Structure 1
């Protein structure tokens, strides 16, 4: 076991026989250019490692002028945030902007080839860092394989806490090339499904690339429909379930990844949120203030929404917070089984409204009786947030 490179510039000249000076040395070979500018962000011993292929043109343009933390995934962080949320590896109220920092302890970011790679168009002579470059390099056959060199350097001995590696690009040729090369470093590696593989300790998952140049592919992946990208998304979500200690960095295993899968696979019994009745008006009254050290209804901040339901007897029900700090919701399509604890998902306060819009029921507690019941979204009023 070994740690990843520290946050910042990486001193590595493995692919440069004559040595290299960071940001100044390049190597041209067989129509390809390799520029020495390897970088790393985040934790050295993370739970999650996110790897692009190589720094694109926009990132390379910012290397010497922008703050280090603004360089990675510039221009498509919103897409990458959505991808990680869909996998259940990032809480709904978080974005990767919160995680790309030197003090980060659970996430690390970088690229499969830590230096930047460009392909020279044989017709125009112009070097490009985008387009079909990932596919092209995965087909490249050379005794001096830069991708394999970088894997050997940084992905042979993996950090002790590492559980998941996210690889951006789910092109079939790229997946196959990565699997072959990684299996040469980790012989026990086996395929989980079409987009993921594991050696029994670390799960490697390929997702759609976040570049806005392929926004239609990203949208199809996020939608999870019966398209090629939608099916790959479902396979990626399924693979995320193999994570040993669960997503969201919670002390107990979250079931959000299961919920995402359930939501993405249409069911004949699923609830159409457009058919839900408008919530009945709730009598105005000051919200109850509970001891923040005890379970109950507790928004995370003044900006968090509050969920209320007024029963026929006049008792006010509020969202019930459990001892793990999360809330419980159930899919009405489960019928009577929705009341079973095993069939309910645990979500953060920031995710409750989204599930209500999808027809999920919420566990709510009566302020007088302390009775906790599953309540339909048609009876719940959302205040603030």
Structure 2
């Protein structure tokens, strides 16, 4: 069922996005046109995409399409691209914060598949940086790895691109939108702080800190969760396995989600 909206949404419909802001306003060829930073360390590829409802109650944003998602974009069916290869951990994360029902691996994958393919449902999916971001490591271009989130938004080229994206896609969210879930926290919370600065610039107003992983203005709460492609034991620990202190960040995310939706977190569920 489609959600109602009281204002035009700056979120796109489920499709390829027509955007040339970061490419000097010149025409681009989807998934081929690139722009490289002056120092040659970073590049973006013009392939912005969106899935789900532009008037969604909940917006789920990665940082940028990684190499698994970005491969063969011109031939892969649209609804198979988002979080390709990572839908199970996406499901685990969304279930952990109470946004979808938990279950076995098959159930979680199917739930995420269904939500991504629904253009009129409760969710929209995309990325903070809609074009693909890659970093030169001295031998090849890589779209994943430690420090990607923090590093990109910390340099002038990255800040310019990120500012363009936040201003275009997050400034005028639908009246239906109450929550934005952001994959990634960065080293010692650096990505949380840098993303907040960008979003506050795009959405001037009264802001408050909800907790160490969440912040909000008068309309929308932004909650950072573990990245679905985190390496090693980061995600299991965030999910609460082994009683590690990182699990407290997962609990704080669940509490912030519950608060944004006017609900209560009880025994690991938002109800």
Match of 2:149 in 1: 134
Q: Take 1:233 and 1:62, find their aligned partners in 2: how far apart are those partners?
A: 33
1:120 alignment partner, one of 122, 136, 141: 136
Give 1:241 deviation, angstroms.
Answer: 2.1
> Counterparts of 2:52 and 2:245 in 1: how far apart (Å)?
32
Query: 1:100 corresponds to which residue?
Result: 116
Assess if the C-alpha contact under 8 Å between 1:69 and 1:100 holds in 2: yes
**Which has the larger Rg?**
1
- Asked if 2 retains the 8 angstrom alpha-carbon contact of 1:224 and 1:231, the reply is no
1:86 matched to 2:100: no
Match of 1:118, SS?
Answer: strand
Cα distance between partner residues in 2 of 1:27 and 1:193? 37
Structure 1's consecutive aligned runs of 4 or more residues displaced over 6 angstroms after TM superposition are none
Post-superposition shift, 1:223? Answer: 1.3
Q: Partners of 1:225 and 1:240 in 2: how far apart?
A: 23
Q: CA RMSD of the aligned region, Å?
A: 2.0
| Equivalent position to 2:258, from 229, 235, 241 | 241
Residue in 2 that maps onto 1:194? 212
Q: Per-residue displacement from partner, 1:285-325 (whole Å, max 9, x unpaired)?
A: xxxxxxxxxxxxxxxxxxxxxxxxxxxxxxxxxxxxxxxxx
Q: Distance in 2 between matches of 1:244 and 1:175?
A: 21
Equivalenced residues, count: 251
Name the TM-score, length of structure 1 as normaliser.
Answer: 0.62
After superposition, residues 152-163 of structure 1 pair within 5 angstroms as 152-163=167-178
Q: Quick one: which of 39, 42, 53 aligns to 1:32?
A: 42
Shift of 1:107: 0.5
On the 8 A contact 2:36/2:44 being kept in 1, the answer is yes
Between the aligned partners of 2:255 and 2:242, the Cα distance in structure 1 is 15
Aligned equivalent of 2:12, options 5, 26, 41: 5
1:201: how far off? 1.7
Partner of 2:4: none
Aligned counterparts of 1:205 and 1:225: Cα–Cα separation in 2: 23
Match of 1:222 among 239, 242, 264: 239
Residue 44 (structure 1) aligned with residue 61 (structure 2): no
The CA distance in 2 between the partners of 1:178 and 1:103, in whole Å, is 26
1:59-101 C-alpha deviation (Å, 9 max, x unpaired): 1113122211011111111111111111111123662112011
Unaligned stretches of 5+ in structure 2? 1-6
Contact 1:47 1:163 in 2 (8 A): yes
Report how far residue 196 of structure 1 moved: 0.3
> Could you tell me which of 49, 74, 81 is aligned with 2:84?
74
1:118, 1:228 → 2: CA distance?
31
For the residues of structure 1 that align with 2:49 and 2:157, how far apart are their CA atoms?
A: 24
Q: Which has the higher contact order (CA 8 A, sep 6+)?
A: 2
Question: Could you tell me which residue of structure 2 aligns to residue 286 of structure 1?
Answer: none
Aligned 1:1-385 pairs, distance under 5 A: 1-3=7-9, 4-17=11-24, 18-29=26-37, 30=39, 31-92=41-102, 95-121=111-137, 123-124=138-139, 126-132=140-146, 133-142=148-157, 145-171=160-186, 172-186=189-203, 187-211=205-229, 214-223=231-240, 227-246=244-263, 255=264, 257-260=265-268
**Preserved contact between residue 150 and residue 194 of structure 2 (Cα < 8 Å):** no
CA distance, structure 2, for counterparts of residue 199 and residue 231 of structure 1: 23
Task: Answer whether contact 1:164 1:243 (CA < 8 A) is retained.
Answer: yes
CA deviation string 1:195-217 (max 9, x = no partner): 00011321100000001x51411
User: 8 Å contact 2:51–2:117 — kept in the other structure?
Assistant: yes
